[in-house]
Structure 1
């Protein structure tokens, strides 16, 4: 099979790495790719926002399957246009991608179909949003409604912070994403990332993970796109896993089908495990980043047939196998992130780092300049490891990170701390 993978981040490198091992694969292209993806796929400078150009490339190169990695092309309707042109795709159509493209859309869906989530309000002007705060408890969560690259969320501890977040949205801090605001009840509990392949009617659960959103050690500082993750999430017991499928994932798949917008692709539920049970924080309509990196390291099965089964609507006869060993990834980010990052700094020592037992390094924001590897974004590398325990995976990942010579970058030093503490307590 000839496959085109859309995207350029760590998620896409992890997917490309896994896809490249499939005996079904003839040729793997990635648009636009990055410095690491180039080692396992042919990177092509295809303007992904130009759907006509993507369709032409698929026709010229006999592409059998397009896999759309990031959310923006999905929300922009790339899958719709490719499907109309007779090209098979993995990913939801534009109408179904609203589950990520509009937080308000998802909240309304939850309300209509009794899917557990935080209480909320939707607003199109600052005055109404601020008035809503009068009857709400603090802390409270203010979100830009649309796509904001993981940066449109503020957990406000004070009324002043909440009003500032509202003003920032409507002042254009997040572009069109902030033209509407969702204000949510703050949920107490522990977060988990839950993934399921969905073919429009059937949902096949994947492994779970836990992300680390805050930029600094001890979960301090501003939210980011994710500074690290590990899998599985230990609070996701078999009973909790079943509840998520029964109360959140299943009802969502049914609801989207009833609305005439069936969801096909991967459904990524950001969850809060509360005292009352699991509640949906938000949906993403693509594989998570950096969660995909740990999922791919744990996946025993061939990924490509699973994505094909999703696109073909035959998940009801499909299953996947996973390594029992946990995996953990540490994000190495450019100085300045999550603000404007320093780009163009040189990275050395990756061969030495990759030699650590159990380690794979996925590139998230790099480019090649001759023999040099340069940083090209905010999140730049994902140092990923598997081990018999989370503590072992953590030790391997940090041993590898320490071998990377990159003064222009930084990383958290406590990824996986909750799981490691649980392991110590149960020892």
Structure 2
């Protein structure tokens, strides 16, 4: 198979890495890719939003399968456009991608299909939102309806901050058109976790669990980031909880797809809050999570291309998906200042000195001459397996000591 992976971050590197170890895969292209991906795939200078150029490339190179990593092209309808040209592509279509592309669409879906979630209302009028904001209590969750690069969710602690947030989104257009409509929700208390699932029209199969650490500093302090690291399995994801999530959330979600005639085929990422009243859905994402994917695919034994082919043929129920019993961890090294302002172009040293059982997933890197340099907030994810997460973490942290770049930052407690 000739495969094209769309995207250029750590998630896409993990997808390419997994495919590169599979016998049926002949050639991997990645658009646009990054410095690390270029070691296992041919990087193509096309952005992930350049749908017409990607279609042209897929035809020229006789691509057998295109796998879409990021949410932006999915929400823009890349799957629909590829399918019009009879090109095989993996990911949900434009209608289904609204589950991530519109917070109001996904909340309406949850409520209509009786999925446990936070109470909410949607607003397009600032005065109306201000008049009713106190009804949710504090802290309160305010979300821009559209895509905002993971930054469109704010949790004000009081009325003053809530009103300021509403004005930023609805008047100042902090998130552009994503704030044309906003969703206000009650704040849920509990332990946050998530689950990735493979989905076709008849079947939803959860992957092994993973825990993501979002806060920039140890002890879950500081600003939210795209993820400072993950490990798999999550320590809270017991068999009992998995059964409850399957019945109350996964099965109901699949039933909802059928009732709404949503032709969902792809990956579904479900953000969850485990509350005193049981698990509740925070959000849907319509693609692999990042950096959860780095830990989960690292443990996947079954060929990813075979699972994807089964989904596209609506045959997921007949695939036996297996994972390594070993546990995995991925620790992100980030640029100084991230998730706020940070500098790029810092030379990364020491990657060639790591132990043979360490895998480095590149998130924000590029080549500058012969040097690999930083090119994003999250730079690389240092990944390993072990009998336990703690054993894997010891390997990772020992090897991180061999790596350096100016301003390098990472959390030392990802395994907890």
Q: Which TM-score band (shorter chain)?
A: over 0.9
Moved more, 86-95 or 240-249: 240-249
Q: What's the offset of the Cα at 1:341?
A: 2.2
- Does the 8 Å CA contact 2:295/2:383 hold for their aligned counterparts? yes
Moved more, 250-259 or 108-117: 250-259
C-alpha separation between the residues in 1 aligned to 2:370 and 2:403? 16
C-alpha separation between the residues in 1 aligned to 2:367 and 2:413? 30
Q: Secondary structure of the equivalent of 2:183?
A: strand
| Deviation per residue, 1:38-77 (Å, 9 max, x gap) | 0010001124323222111111111110000000000000
- Does the 8 Å CA contact 1:346/1:408 hold for their aligned counterparts? no
C-alpha separation between the residues in 2 aligned to 1:413 and 1:57? 42
C-alpha separation between the residues in 2 aligned to 1:73 and 1:186? 30
State the partner residue of 1:391: 390
Q: What's the offset of the Cα at 1:358?
A: 3.6
State the partner residue of 2:108: 108
For residues 291-370 of structure 1, the aligned pairs below 5 Å read 291-352=292-353, 354-355=354-355, 358-370=357-369
* Runs of 5+ unmatched residues, structure 2: none
- Give the paired residue count: 415
C-alpha separation between the residues in 1 aligned to 2:22 and 2:376? 29
Q: Does 1:381 align with 2:361?
A: no
C-alpha separation between the residues in 2 aligned to 1:367 and 1:40? 14
CA-based RMSD of the aligned residues comes to: 1.3
C-alpha separation between the residues in 2 aligned to 1:312 and 1:121? 38
For residues 125-274 of structure 1, the aligned pairs below 5 Å read 125-170=125-170, 171-274=172-275
Q: What's the offset of the Cα at 1:272?
A: 0.7
Q: Does 1:62 align with 2:87?
A: no
Q: Secondary structure of the equivalent of 2:227?
A: coil
| Deviation per residue, 1:70-104 (Å, 9 max, x gap) | 00000000000001110111100000001111111
C-alpha separation between the residues in 2 aligned to 1:165 and 1:190? 25
- Does the 8 Å CA contact 1:204/1:319 hold for their aligned counterparts? no
State TM-score, norm by structure 2. Answer: 0.97
State the partner residue of 2:413: 414
| Deviation per residue, 1:297-340 (Å, 9 max, x gap) | 11111111011111221101112111122211111111221123
- Does the 8 Å CA contact 2:196/2:268 hold for their aligned counterparts? yes
State the partner residue of 1:50: 50
C-alpha separation between the residues in 2 aligned to 1:127 and 1:28? 52
- Does the 8 Å CA contact 1:149/1:225 hold for their aligned counterparts? no
Q: Secondary structure of the equivalent of 1:218?
A: coil
